[in-house]
Amino acid sequence: MKSKFVKSTIILIIGGMITKVLGMIIKIVLTRTIGSEGISLYMMVLPTFNLFITLCNLGMPIAISKLVAENKKRGKKIVLPIVPITLLYNLLLIVIIFLISPILANTLLHNHNTYFPLIAIGATLPFICISSIIKGYFFGKEKVFPNTLSNIVEQLVRLLLTVVVVGKMMNYSLVLAVTFVVLINIISELSSIIVLILFLPKEKIKIEDFKRDNQLLKEIMGISLPNTGARMIGSITYFFEPIILTNILKFSGYSQEFIASEYGIINGYVYPLLLLPSFFTMAISSAILPVVSNSYSRKDYTYTKFKIKQAIFYSLIIGIPMTIIFIFIPSIPLKLVYNTNLGLNYISIIAPFFLLHYIQAPLTSSLTGMGYSKEAMMGTLYGGIVKIFSLIIFSLMKIGLWSLVISSILNILVVTIHHIYYVNKYLKRK
């Protein structure tokens, strides 16, 4: 069991590195193909896209992973009844996107060119959802290779289509090219689904396998809705962040140019650099979820404690050296990754607190695996509330974008300490 967890983590880390590199290549190709104007248009649509991805998944992959890991029912008895329900739900989301896209484009985003890219989001949702559900099944079975391979194939297909097709779309219009950037997700997710299906057990599927199980649905919703709630809280906090900053800092006498420039440096260079080790810790958190779910359901609490400590230990092995680099020689990774020195004044101050952020994902997965998704969601909620209120208070103190830095640090502290407390609390009882 121990070697399986370590093996899964290593596969996920290697796969994550390959996927990350391919993602960076895609960004470079995309930037050169559609230019700064096209990137700006795509970035305006991206928050809505991310929000609907959260909504379309509805936390199902995590719930399925947990239930499959507990071995209470055969995998197909858990996965198949969910498929028609989620497809109908995604059809509803598509209708909602069609209805709100004119308002989003013309009233909220003040850019009619975003209309067709927004509409395109709807077409991608069912494919993203089905892919995520199957990946949740494999995580529950602790079979990470299919997921890793499907992610790599997905990125390769996305890169190929970006190189071959997006450039041709630019010959017609920028809006068409950006719309196709969104639609690429249909083909890339479909390729991912095909790869995943190849690894599924060759079992005969009957019509009755799709029959709705109300008890199962209740169990899944009990896990998935808190996870969705936690992600929604993060999305809403992120949505209000620039609005609060812009309005209060402008009221305090800062220029729009200064706010936009510093906000871009923090979110474009500082945070992405500090979050680079996160694909390691996300791999660890994905691997630990089914392990904790399985051992906790078997009431093997000693083993559960050991695996959680091991996940935190592995996260710190990766996080500590990176944190030391970010504190003492931040200019080297910043120059190496982004070829800039902008943001140096922020990185060394924030880096020590991001060490806590690196163990946050394994702690969240541990709470979910033990059946305490609501507590994980509440931690995110408390962190979001603290961040918003501290952002308002510190912005009024005329300390520039340091108000954002301090509020982000407080968010990390609140969420991580909350998670540590509850993981310790529920395991101490056993």
Q: How far apart are CA 324 and CA 193, in angstroms?
A: 40
Q: What is the model's pLDDT at position 190?
A: 95
Query: Per-residue pLDDT tens for 12-41?
Result: 778 878 887 888 788 778 877 887 678 767
Q: Which long-range contacts (CB under 8 A, 24 or more apart) does 18-27 make?
A: 18/152, 18/155, 19/151, 19/152, 19/155, 19/279, 20/279, 22/152, 22/155, 22/156, 22/159, 23/155, 25/159, 26/155, 26/158, 26/159, 26/162
**Separation of alpha carbons 303 and 404, rounded Å:** 40
Q: What's residue 312's pLDDT? A: 93
Q: How far is CA 343 from CA 109, 243, 261, 347, in A?
A: 28, 21, 11, 6
Residue with tokens 């991912």: 192
pLDDT score of 173 more than 70 = yes
Does 369 have pLDDT greater than 90? no
| Both structure tokens of 61 | 């992959």
Q: What is the pLDDT of residue 228?
A: 75
CA 321 to chain centre: 24
Q: In this structure, what token pair is assigned to residue 347?
A: 């990185």
Closest CA to 292 of 8, 66, 3: 66
The CB-side HSE value for 350 (13 A sphere, CA atoms) comes to 30
In the numeric block, which tokens belong to residue 1? 């069991």
Q: For the chain, what is the mean pLDDT?
A: 85
Helix (H/G/I), strand (E/B), else coil: 372: coil
Amino acid (1-letter code) at residue 253: G
- Average of per-residue pLDDT across 400-416: 94
Find how far residue 101's CA is from the centre of its chain: 24
The DSSP line for 320-369 is HHHHHHHHH-THHHHHHHHS--TTHHHHHHHHHHHHHHHTHHHHHHHHHH
pLDDT at 73: 57
Q: Which of 201, 185, 193, 85 is nearest to 131 (CA)?
A: 193
Instruction: Please tell me the least confidently modeled range out of 98-102, 231-235, 386-390, 409-413.
Output: 231-235
Rounded Cα distance between 291 and 294, Å, is 5
Question: What six digits make up the tokens of 46?
Answer: 């991206």
**Spatial distance between the Cα atoms of 351 and 429, rounded to a whole number of angstroms:** 34
> Where is mean pLDDT largest: 77-81, 229-233, 287-291, 376-380?
376-380
**pLDDT at position 20:** 78
Domain boundaries, the chain: 1-212, 213-430
Amino acid 178 reads: V
Which pLDDT tens digit goes with each residue over 316-362? Answer: 998 999 999 999 999 998 888 777 788 898 999 999 999 999 999 99
Helices of type H across 112-270: 115-140, 144-161, 167-170, 174-199, 214-251, 256-265
Count of positions (residues) in the chain: 430
pLDDT category, 411, cuts 50, 70, 90? very high
Confidence at residue 106, expressed as pLDDT on a 0 to 100 scale: 82
Average pLDDT score over residue span 403-410:
94
pLDDT in tens, 184-232: 999 999 999 999 999 887 766 666 666 767 777 777 787 777 777 777 7
What average pLDDT does this structure show over 130-146?
A: 87
Cβ atoms of 308 and 292 closer than 8 Å: yes
151 burial type by CB count under 10 A (0-12 exposed, 13-18 middle, 19+ buried):
buried
CB 334 within 8 A of CB 344: yes
Position 377 confidence tier, pLDDT thresholds 50, 70, 90: confident
Alpha carbon of 99 to those of 85, 118, 180, 400: distances in Å? 22, 11, 20, 39
